[in-house]
Amino acid sequence: MRYEFLVGMRYTRSRKRAQGRNRFISFISLVSMFGIALGVAALIVVLSVMNGFQEELRTRILGVASHIQVQSRGEGLETWQQVAEESMQHPSVRAAAPYVQEQGMLSFDDAVRGTIVRGVIPSEEDKVADFGGYMQSGDFHALQAGRFGIVLGRDLAFALRVQLGDKVTLVAPQGLVTPAAVLPRVKQFEVVGIFEAGMYEYDSGLALVHVADAQALYRLGDAVSGVRLKLDDLFAAPRVARELALMISEPGLIVADWTRSHANFFRAVALEKTMMTLILFLIVAVAAFNIVSTLVMAVQEKYADIAILRTLGASPASIMTIFVLQGSIIGVVGLLAGVAGGLAIAGNLDVVIPALETVTGATLWNKEVYYIDELPSKVLTSDVVSIVSVSFVLTLLAAIYPSWRASRVNPAEALRYE
């Protein structure tokens, strides 16, 4: 072993016999390691949660919504079969399904709730959405034309206090004009299923009926609101939407992809992730630059040792290597501890969060605020590599100046009063 490494590691170790300033320097070294470990662990956990939240939000939104929607600017789209056929000619489009989307009000006994009513064809809807896999009870395919069945979100069914087989009253806002007054259109629907998508927005405010029943209730005739499309690659949706707008022969259509219809969600998540990364990197930087004070104190304490090494023939570069190594060891130990702790926490959030809620008595994850019912986590190797690389560079930068000062020590001045 080269003597620079031997001396550097010896200076780093906390010896039981250390007295006075030596012991204090060892304590400062431990504090620096702990600060780096805490900052790195926090970065890994936060970025993992943000990655998981972004992916989970996107998956659940697109499990209920669609990659692309083609809809009319007017009352309805009567030539939806032609639009669907032309859309399917695009190589990136995997499936197409018509839909009717209107507003309504559901009532059962004394409970009343506003809702979005979506008319679908179950066999076609399965190709563009995942309602079949979200069913908590009942059967999604029980929606049949003329039966007037309805499938409710779990939270909406709970708010109305309904179960399978109950009959709810659906009130359409478009009224019937009579000589006496304008009367709302009212129809009873039988609850044939309850779904749980895991997103509060849909579980509490979406009701599914057969497209024929929706057309009859809202007097659309053979028209629908639009056509929903599913793509091979969801991230290609903006490009495919632009190409479809040129391909479809029907004039006056709006072609909107999921990045536009839910842009605010993903922009907010991306912005929050960026800002949290910057803030937490500042925490790591503060912890890394604690190494400066540690090494400055170590250099002051080791003046005599440095002078003796210089008189024995050690070069300034060797002296600088000793203290750079000491700072690097502090940083590497802190990094390894932080990575281990961060990965352990990020991989067990389903245990950590309930435990913290039990200890503190507070609700740390409210699905009504965060749209999904559990805290997701996804550790990306690229994030961990970036965190470790930047943190290690910060520790090296923090070690350079004190090490350079140590290499400039004059042996004669250092040994004058020894």
Query: Are 248 and 86 contacting, i.e. CB atoms less than 8 angstroms apart?
Result: yes
Q: Decide: residue 404, CB within 10 A, 0-12 exposed, 13-18 middle, 19+ buried.
A: middle
The dihedrals phi and psi of 104, each to the nearest 5 degrees, come to -160, 175
Q: How far is CA 292 from the centre of its chain?
A: 36
**Cα separation of 70 and 48, whole Å?**
35
The candidate with the shortest Cα–Cα distance to 192, out of 161, 159, 152, 155, is 152
Q: Decide: residue 346, CB within 10 A, 0-12 exposed, 13-18 middle, 19+ buried.
A: buried
What pTM was computed for the model?
0.66
- Rounded (10°) angle between helices 381-407 and 21-64: 160
Strands (E), 25-160: 68-72, 93-108, 111-120, 135-138, 149-153
* Tens-binned pLDDT, residue by residue, of the chain (418 aa): 576 677 766 666 645 444 555 566 667 777 778 888 888 888 888 888 888 877 877 777 777 878 888 888 777 888 888 999 999 999 999 999 999 999 899 999 888 999 999 999 998 888 888 888 888 888 898 898 888 999 999 999 999 999 998 999 998 877 665 665 566 788 899 999 999 887 778 888 899 999 999 988 888 888 898 999 998 888 888 889 889 988 888 888 888 888 777 777 777 777 877 887 788 778 777 777 777 777 777 777 777 777 777 777 878 888 888 888 878 888 888 889 999 998 998 888 777 777 877 787 776 666 655 556 667 788 888 888 888 888 888 888 888 888 887 787 777 666 665 5
In one-letter notation, the amino acid at residue 224 is V
Q: Decide: residue 89, CB within 10 A, 0-12 exposed, 13-18 middle, 19+ buried.
A: exposed
